[in-house]
Structures are given as structure tokens and as C-alpha cells.
Amino acid sequence: MIQLEKVTKKYLRHKAVNQCTATLEAGKIIGLIGENGSGKTTILKLLAGLLRPTNGRVLIDSKQVNRSISDRLAYLTDMDYFYPYFTIKELIDFYHSQFKDFDKKKAMDMAAFMKLNVKQKIRYLSKGNLSRVKIAVTLSRNVPYIVLDEPFSGLDPLVRKSIINGIIKFMNLESQTLIVTTHELREVEPILDEVLLLKDGRIIAQKSVDQIRDDYRMDVVDWMEQVYETTK
């Protein structure tokens, strides 16, 4: 379980996250959604222990988050961070040497599923294939929590579909929780269990996707637009 308790993160006078309180249950795929600058990436970095809250507490399984949370949480940033001279196979070997929870066979299976040539060097990969590699090595860590920051940004629909299928096939939701930020809501909605809607650094709504469909007769995008229009 993840808990945010009145979490605020300030940069000088700007509050990137402002008094956020929420509980995220384990075993779900949860979307953090909202417009640019609403605080989504800041919350992910707080969960990953890369930032400390200015006020409030971030708890994972009742323990306050710090840098050691990397033993239980895999974080995929939207930045490129691999050694360009590695082949995909060498990158997988490197991850295996760095993380005791890394499943090398799973990584190779994911690479094959996503039609990646593991002999190809990172520097020569297309943006779509690089995104597939990032997903493969992140999901191959057998940790309880996986956090993905805009994994579909700038990708064509076929690549997004490939990555979504990979998530469905290779995640174990009996033992893992996935938290993802994305603007590709209509494509990702079918795999989401729940969404947190942010605006101006605040959590303004938290709903299950089934509840949105049943109670509002809308998809998540239309619901988000309606909530934004009625929230000042």
C-alpha cells in the first residue's frame, strides 16, 4: 500500500505538489492523470525516493520512503539514461549485475515479444525500440512496485500497443502494483483500475475506472475534462 499524507513539495515559492493525501492499494494499475505541470512527475519522484517532501509523509508498506526504496520499487523516467555503446543484451546483463531482483530470462523473453534484436547497440535504436527496451528492463525487476513516467510519449500507435501488450503479459498483479503517468489515456484506459486526477499540484479526484463508467457514463478523458471544468 502507498500512502500520501498531506504531502507538499516546494521549489522556492512554487508548490509543485500541494497538500496531497491519497491511499493507493496494492495489486492495481493506477494512472496519475492531469494537464502538464499538474504535479504528476513530482509525485512519482517522491514515491521513488528521488525527492523528499517539504512537508508531509510518503509511506510505502507503512515505511517512510527514502533512497533505499529502490530495493522495492522500479522507476522508469521519461529521460534517456542508458550507455549508448551497450547492446541490448549487454544492457540486460548490466541490469542483472546491478539488481538482485532482476529476472534476466524475463527480460530476454520481453525483448523477443517486442521484436527487439538484442545484438543491436543502444545508440542505433529508434525512439520506439528504445522505449520498448526501457519497459523490458524495468518490468523485469521482481519488485512490488513499478512506476512509469510517460512511457508512451511521442510514440506511434503500433509501438504504444506493443508496450501496453507487454505490460499486460509480463506484469504479475498478484504481487505487483503499477503506477503510470500518461497523456495517451484512451489507449491505456482499458488496463487501468483506478485514476488520480491532479490539477495545480493538488489531487482533485480519485476514482476507479469502473466507477467512472458506471456512475458518469463517460470514458476517463471525458470525465477528466468535466471535473476540470467544475474545479476552480
User: What pLDDT is attached to residue 139?
Assistant: 92
Residue 22 sits in a domain whose CATH number is 3.40.50.300
Residue 3 vs residues 11, 41, 178, 232: alpha-carbon distances, Å: 22, 17, 15, 25
pLDDT in tens, 132-148: 899 999 999 999 999 99
Q: Cell triple for residue 197?
A: 486526477
User: What pLDDT is attached to residue 176?
Assistant: 92
* 129 in Cβ contact with 117 (< 8 Å): no
Instruction: Please tell me which residue, 55 or 175, carries the higher pLDDT value.
Output: 55
User: Has residue 78 got a pLDDT over 80?
Assistant: no
User: What pLDDT is attached to residue 13?
Assistant: 86
User: What pLDDT is attached to residue 128?
Assistant: 86
User: What pLDDT is attached to residue 168?
Assistant: 85
Nearest to 170 by CA among 109, 102, 90, 97: 109
User: Has residue 81 got a pLDDT over 80?
Assistant: no
Residue 158 — very low, low, confident or very high, per pLDDT cuts 50/70/90? Answer: confident
Q: Which domain holds residue 128?
A: 2-230
CB atoms within 10 A of CB 216: 14
Residue 23 vs residues 58, 106, 201: alpha-carbon distances, Å: 10, 30, 17
In this prediction, residues 111-129 reach a mean pLDDT of 92
User: Has residue 79 got a pLDDT over 80?
Assistant: no
User: What pLDDT is attached to residue 183?
Assistant: 84
Task: Give, as one character, the DSSP assignment of residue 72.
Answer: T
* 76 in Cβ contact with 140 (< 8 Å): no
pLDDT in tens, 169-227: 888 888 899 999 988 888 889 999 999 999 999 999 999 999 999 999 999 999 999 99
> Domain total for the chain?
1
User: What pLDDT is attached to residue 203?
Assistant: 95
User: What pLDDT is attached to residue 89?
Assistant: 96
Share of the chain above pLDDT 70, in %: 100
User: What pLDDT is attached to residue 153?
Assistant: 76
